[in-house]
Amino acid sequence: MKKVERINVMMRYINNRAHFTISEIMREFNISRSTAIRDIREIEAMGMPLVAEVGRDGGYFVMNNSVLPTVRFTDNEIKALFIAFMATRNLQLPYLKSRQSLAEKLLGLISEAQQEDIVLLNQILLFEGTNPNNPDLLELSDLPHPMLEKFIQTLLLDSYLLITMKEEKGIRSYPIYLLHLYREKSIWLIEGFDLQEERKQIFPADSLTDVKPYPSKNRVSRKNILEKIRKQEEVINLVLELGPKAIAQYKKYHPLEVSISYTNPYQTTAVLKTFINVNNPEELTEITNWLLFLGEDIKVREMPEEVLEGLKERLCLYFP
């Protein structure tokens, strides 16, 4: 009997009894004492309210002899879950091992007919990043940066963080107030307000070597941080009108902080307003490439001269 199946059967066995012992579980499922204890702890972690009895003949009983309400999935819900798993393979997402164990549990709970549907979908559906020669839903080949899960666990407890980064000049620590953790162009990035420099900064998560809460005595209130960010916001200097083709390109890819506002209820026209730092060569090159990616279905309302010159230079390379 596979572990997932054994856990499910064990939960029903336990819930149908007022009292049970480790020895009974060992005999019933033909497992060792250590395995029985691990299984019981996993069942507790899943939400079954077990209470341990102290004493020589002690064991366990289920509080009120009940478990959490049974969750049932429809066929379409099962397909939606597994298609989401398929679509996010090879994206270096955190908690990959937990996703694998979740998939194993779900596979153990659904019917054979549903399992056959999932296997067929896994063979037919291909998403960006999927290896058609090895489309194993449960593979662990796309592990994220080892610090990413620790970083997420820490940020859930506190937004004031001391992050340590590996840089060209060595190791450096930054006290930050976390604003966002996001993924762009296959890279995880940390957006935070630097509490020393008093400005927003972006840090690559791949360079992260350590993270811990920042001491309370050195903190600035969240209200003050957001006020400083608001005052530092740049004046908009790029305004575009987008047609349906440009909107379609925008949906395929756009810089994280560049947003559009639809100008009709059918979402076929939109306005884009943002700030371009023309003194940053990297940002200037990136925005020039992206504007060319949007295509011809745009009208320029306002654009920095540097961006316009960059577009002309690029077009001259294509059409000398």
Dump pLDDT digits (tens) for 295-313.
999 999 999 999 999 888 8
163-184 pLDDT, tens digit each = 999 998 899 999 999 999 988 8
**Cα separation of 133 and 128, whole Å?**
14
**Cα separation of 268 and 247, whole Å?**
7
Within the chain, all domains assigned CATH 3.30.70 are found at 238-318
CB 85 within 8 A of CB 137: yes
Report the greatest alpha carbon distance in the chain.
90
Binning pLDDT at 50, 70 and 90, where does residue 160 land? very high
Within the chain, all domains assigned CATH 2.30.30 are found at 148-232
pLDDT at site 162: 95
pTM for this entry: 0.61
The answer regarding whether domain 238-318 maps to CATH 3.30.70 reads: yes
Within the chain, all domains assigned CATH 1.10.10.10 are found at 3-65
Residue for token pair 């199946």:
5
Tokens of 59: 């064991």
Contacts by residues 230-235 (CB-CB < 8 Å, ≥ 24 positions apart):
232/199, 232/200, 233/275, 234/275, 234/277, 235/275
Tell which CATH classification among 1.20.1440.130, 3.30.470.20, 1.10.10.10, 1.10.1060.10 matches the domain 3-65. 1.10.10.10
56-95 pLDDT, tens digit each = 556 787 766 454 455 567 888 889 998 888 888 777 788 8
Topology of 148-232 in CATH?
SH3 type barrels. (2.30.30)
Burial of 62: CB neighbours in 10 Å, binned 0-12, 13-18, 19+: buried
210-253 pLDDT, tens digit each = 999 998 887 889 999 999 988 877 788 999 999 999 999 999 88
Beta bridge partners of 204: 189
The DSSP annotation for 160-183 comes to EEEEEEEETTEEEEEEEEEEEEEE
For residue 161, pLDDT beyond 80: yes
